[in-house]
């Protein structure tokens, strides 16, 4: 399996179409965005090349390819307002393996390691992330990579008939 990563600099309609599919996939929505209630879970958003360009203003975005096919994305922001610990030089990360064909193959692990290297190259020494309480697979991966829980924000997101906490984790690089 050939996994490669590419920095996104100029979003195309083809890339935006993939993002649109991932961000509106009912299986992914509970994993990638907080939803206060059932209505929010059912809401869909338009993703275009233009609004991806807007994201590039405050995100470093990298595309994930498997055997030459776009299967996901990862990104980081520097010192965003939603950090739990307001420490300077902190990267907040996000990873989405959007295509089912890319899941369960270790791509998430490779992606995080790659992203951490880019963050170190940018001169940052701390990473923070949020993972929803029900996403035990992701929690296990983060713990394996040395991320430690620093907080739980109760009733943060709605899924499967219940409210769930957002688990905040950090790692020093």
β-pair type (148-159, 162-172): antiparallel
Mean pLDDT value of segment 132-145: 96
Q: What is the pLDDT of residue 89?
A: 95
Count CA atoms within 13 Å of residue 52 on its CB side. Answer: 23
CA 70 – CA 15 distance, rounded (Å): 8
**Alpha carbon separation from 37 to 84, 158, 170 (Å, rounded):** 23, 5, 27
**pTM, rounded to two decimals:** 0.94
- DSSP code for 102: G
Q: Looking at domain 3-172, which CATH architecture does it have? A: 3-Layer(aba) Sandwich (3.40)
Q: What is the pLDDT of residue 105?
A: 92
Mean pLDDT value of segment 63-74: 97
Mean pLDDT value of segment 41-67: 96
Mean pLDDT value of segment 108-121: 96
β-pair type (60-66, 162-172): unpaired
Model confidence at 84: pLDDT above 80: yes
Is 106 in a helix, a strand, or coil? coil
- The confidence band for 17, taking pLDDT boundaries of 50, 70 and 90, is very high
Q: What is the pLDDT of residue 166?
A: 98
Model confidence at 1: pLDDT above 80: no
Mention every residue, 6+ apart, whose C-beta is less than 8 A from residue 55. 61, 75
Q: What is the pLDDT of residue 153?
A: 98
Q: What is the pLDDT of residue 37?
A: 96
């Amino acid at each position: 399996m050939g996994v490669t990563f590419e920095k996104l600099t100029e979003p195309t309609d083809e890339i935006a179409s993939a993002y649109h599919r991932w961000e509106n996939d009912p299986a992914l929505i509970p994993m990638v965005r907080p939803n206060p209630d059932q209505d929010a879970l059912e809401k869909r958003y338009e993703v275009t090349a233009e609004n991806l360009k807007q994201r590039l203003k405050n995100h470093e975005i990298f595309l994930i390819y498997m055997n030459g096919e776009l299967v996901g994305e990862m990104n980081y922001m520097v010192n965003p307002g939603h950090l739990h610990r307001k420490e300077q030089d902190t990267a907040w990360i996000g990873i989405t393996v959007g295509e089912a064909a890319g899941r369960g193959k270790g791509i998430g692990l490779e992606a995080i390691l790659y992203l951490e290297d880019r963050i170190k190259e940018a001169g940052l020494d701390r990473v923070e992330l949020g993972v929803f309480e029900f996403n035990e697979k992701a929690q296990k991966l983060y713990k394996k990579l040395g991320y430690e829980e620093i907080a739980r924000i109760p009733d943060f997101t709605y899924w499967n008939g219940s409210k769930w906490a957002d688990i905040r984790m950090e790692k020093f690089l």
